[in-house]
Amino acid sequence: GGDVSALVTDIADELAAFLELQGGEGADGARLLPLLHLGRAHAVLLHLVEPDAHGPGGGCHPSAVLFPAILAEAEPIHASGRAVLDAWIVGYEVMAELVSRERGSLNATNWHPTGFICTVAGAAAVSHLLGHSADLTQRAMSIAASFGGGITANYGTQTKALHAGRAASSSLQAVKFAQ
């Protein structure tokens, strides 16, 4: 409804103002954002509408993390739509596997699954997109596991969307560190 649209618009404006300070300028005068900020911004905005909240994991929002992380890397390498979708599928499968190994619900223990599980899934997806070896992908996923975070106490606040933003940027950062 209108309340959600106004909230998303307000947050988008605040995010744009923050990112304006973070970016650089391209040769043509266009504003450029570092990939980590671009992935984070898109994930925050996407998570505000909580896409695919009821997939494997119940509290994971894979598209809010996977697409922003993948697209941040896909554009510079001119990846095809097929490559983007293949990477998303890899990330989704990793997320589903991690959820299936959970002994209980992260939500029940006050942890937001998106901030933990999707960080690792995002690293797998981006590594796949970039054609990394199994060893490099494993390193990226291990690094990403150290970056996860998010608590359920933030549910119902704008901070919850930051969990997805941080997961997307952490996915990208983990892949960079692994290289």
Residues 161 and 48 sit within 8 Å (Cβ to Cβ): yes
Per-residue pLDDT of the chain (179 residues; tens, 9 = 90+): 456 566 556 656 665 565 555 555 544 555 545 555 566 665 666 565 565 665 555 567 787 888 888 988 888 889 999 999 999 999 999 998 988 887 777 767 777 777 788 899 999 999 999 999 999 999 999 999 998 887 777 777 777 777 777 788 888 889 988 98
Task: State pLDDT tens for residues 7-31.
Answer: 556 656 665 565 555 555 544 555 5
Give the sign of the dihedral formed by CA 140, CA 26, CA 77, CA 40: positive
pTM of the model: 0.74
